[in-house]
Structure 1
Amino acid sequence: MAKGYWVSVYPAISDPEELTAYNNLAGPAVQAGGGRLLSSAGRVVAHEAGITHRVVLVEFDSFELAVAAYESEAYQKALVALPDGIERDFRIIEGID
């Protein structure tokens, strides 16, 4: 079964400390949904049209689990805490089986 991944790119973060409330709720919600944080705010080398913004990568055992975790009540509460000064490009993708 192909794994599922959350890929988040943050083109604009007005104040990184504003992410604290979201992170405090999102971390446990992701873990409860079976997600494993693979990368968060690490170094980025961009090529071609790439831009070196913060990238967060989370792995799930399946695409369906990744979607379910996003739709969970716990993660939806975390999304409410995501500040207005944060711009985020979020995707759920299916890995190669």
Structure 2
Amino acid sequence: MAKGYWITFYRSISDPVALAAYGKLAGPAVVAHGGRFLARGEATKVYEQGIVQRTTVTEFDSVEDAIAAHSSPAYQEALRALGGGCERDVRIVAGVD
């Protein structure tokens, strides 16, 4: 079974306090579903039409585990804490076998 990767690109952050509140709740919710943070932070270098922005990459044992983490009540609580504090692009993709 292919691993699942949850990749988030932060286009803009308008409320750093809400983002911090989200992070305190989201991290444990993701880890509880087997998520492992592989990369977190602002892009070091961008190419082509890339944008320097905060990006996170989280690995799960499967795509289904990644989806379950996002759907979990604990993660949904984190999203409520985030509110409209940032504009993000969230994707879940399957790893290459």
Which bin holds the TM-score, normalised by the shorter protein? over 0.9
Contact 1:4/1:66 (8 A) holds in 2: yes
Give the secondary structure class of the aligned counterpart of 1:81. helix
Cα distance in structure 1, aligned partners of 2:81 and 2:52: 25
Q: Which runs of 5+ in 1 are unaligned?
A: none
Which TM-score applies when normalising by structure 2?
0.92
Task: Give unmatched runs, 5+ long, in structure 2.
Answer: none
Residues 41-80 of structure 1: per-residue CA shift (max 9 Å, x gap): 1443110011110001100011111111111111111111
Say how many residue pairs are matched.
97
Once residues 32 and 85 of structure 2 are traced to their aligned partners in structure 1, the CA distance between those partners, rounded to angstroms, is: 27
Structure 1 runs, 4 residues or longer, greater than 4 Å off: none
2:86 is matched with which residue?
Answer: 86
Name the Cα RMSD after superposition: 1.2
Secondary structure, counterpart of 1:37 in structure 2 = strand
